[in-house]
A = this chain, B = another copy of it.
Amino acid sequence: MRYLKSDNTAAVSAEILRALADANHGTELAYGADRWSERLDAVYGEFFGTPVRVFAVSSGTAANSLALATMCPPWGTVLTHNEAHIERDECGAPEFFTGGAKLSLVAGAGAKIAAADLLARLTWFEPHVHGVQPRMLSITQATERGAIYTPEEVRALAKIAHERNMRLHMDGARFANALVAQKVSAADLTWKAGVDVLSFGVIKNGGMNAEAVVFFDPTHVADFEFRRKRAGQLFCKGRYAAVQLLSYLESGIWRRNAERANGLAARIAAAAPQLLSEPIATNQVFMKLGQARIDALVTQDFGFYPWGPTGSGEARFVCSWDTPEEDVDALCAALGSLR
């Protein structure tokens, strides 16, 4: 099958595997006291251009939920998009980790939250005990529909949040894809724009089984560390998580892999621009194909997800760092012939 279902079906970059093998010698202190874990803060601090605290966890769900639980009390609510991964695809993990905080949903094109929509949604809440209190905003970069937030957009949302004593979480499962799509720095997209904590995705873009949680403010780190342990997300052989996070930045695959994935997606988009249902920005392509075209592509052995409500005729194609060129060529050709 020509497989374009998701970037989480990709293999692991050779750089990551090599780093794992290189670390596999002799005894090392457990639970994050190893030589690699101890370098995390410095390496990520350099990447972001500011002191940070960085922790490895084993999934994006764990990264998001632990970050939220650290900053949102049980009687708080997390404002987020109604298509957000934390709302739709984590089986209630945020509610579990926070002790029952609520997610309060905002709609918006491209799975993006617009400042005006956030402001409108916030008017629903009153500062009394009858209702949950907005304490966090969580945005996804790139979004679940492949869109990106610019630094200015992040800053506008952060301002709204911070003025109300809310913290800003960024679900960066595809952060690298969003970053290389813009001519900005990692700092511009995060702490300089007001992000308080980032789930920095590694797995989809070449990693194996470690994601990074990056705190730009150390206030909540102690609480996080207890919660991480208590959630079974502190690994005894911590070096094998840490080297993935280190190699991801130090080998440069964060950029190379993301650029390749974005580039392949751009080619698909260019093959049938009239079918795009979302502007192409990162490594996800959304097209309004209609059922006939969908059936034709399935017959030609392309693997992808239908998207949106049943019968919408929309499809999503995702390119990863190791999607074969020939699969993309074939899809472009097929889309052309289906015009």
Q: Which residues of A contact B (CB under 8 A)?
A: 1, 3, 5-6, 8-12, 17, 20-21, 24-31, 57-63, 65-66, 73-75, 77, 88-93, 95-96, 98-103, 123, 129-133, 203-204, 208-209, 223, 225-237, 240-241, 309-310, 322-323
Contacts A74-B99, A91-B131, A92-B100 given; indicate if A3 touches B27 (C-beta within 8 A).
yes
Q: Give the shortest distance, in Å, between A52 (CB) and chain B (any CB).
A: 19
Contacts A74-B227, A131-B88 given; indicate if A65 touches B11 (C-beta within 8 A).
no
Q: Give the shortest distance, in Å, between A28 (CB) and chain B (any CB).
A: 6
Which residues of B sit under 8 angstroms from A61, Cβ to Cβ?
A: 229-230, 232, 234
Our pick among B95, B102, B123, B236 for the contact of A310 (Cβ within 8 Å) is B123
Our pick among B59, B73, B230, B240 for the contact of A235 (Cβ within 8 Å) is B59
Our pick among B8, B20, B88, B225 for the contact of A20 (Cβ within 8 Å) is B20
Interface contact A26-B6, CB-CB below 8 Å: no
Q: Can you list 6 A-B contacts with CB-CB less than 8 angstroms, sorted by A residue number?
A: A58-B235, A74-B230, A77-B92, A100-B100, A102-B103, A231-B232
Which residues of B sit under 8 angstroms from A88, Cβ to Cβ?
A: 130-131
Question: Please, how many angstroms separate the alpha-carbon atoms of A140 and B230 in the complex?
Answer: 19
Interface contact A100-B95, CB-CB below 8 Å: yes
Please tell me how many copies of the chain the complex holds.
Answer: 4
Question: Please, how many angstroms separate the alpha-carbon atoms of A190 and B225 in the complex?
Answer: 34
Which residues of B sit under 8 angstroms from A235, Cβ to Cβ?
A: 58-59, 209
Q: Give the shortest distance, in Å, between A307 (CB) and chain B (any CB).
A: 13
Question: Please, how many angstroms separate the alpha-carbon atoms of A208 and B12 in the complex?
Answer: 16
Give A309's nearest chain B residue, CB to CB: B123
Our pick among B129, B203, B237 for the contact of A91 (Cβ within 8 Å) is B129
Interface contact A100-B91, CB-CB below 8 Å: no
Interface contact B96-A92, CB-CB below 8 Å: no
Interface contact B130-A229, CB-CB below 8 Å: yes
Max chain B CB contacts within 10 Å: which of A60, A61, A310?
Answer: A61
With A8-B236, A59-B234, A130-B229 known, 7 other A-B pairs at CB within 8 A are: A17-B21, A27-B323, A59-B233, A91-B229, A93-B232, A129-B225, A231-B231
Q: Give the shortest distance, in Å, between A155 (CB) and chain B (any CB).
A: 27
Q: Give the shortest distance, in Å, between A241 (CB) and chain B (any CB).
A: 7
Interface contact A226-B12, CB-CB below 8 Å: no
Interface contact B24-A12, CB-CB below 8 Å: yes
The 3 closest A-B pairs by CB, nearest first: A62-B232, A95-B100, A8-B236
Which residues of B sit under 8 angstroms from A1, Cβ to Cβ?
A: 27
Contacts A75-B227, A232-B57 given; indicate if A102 touches B95 (C-beta within 8 A).
yes
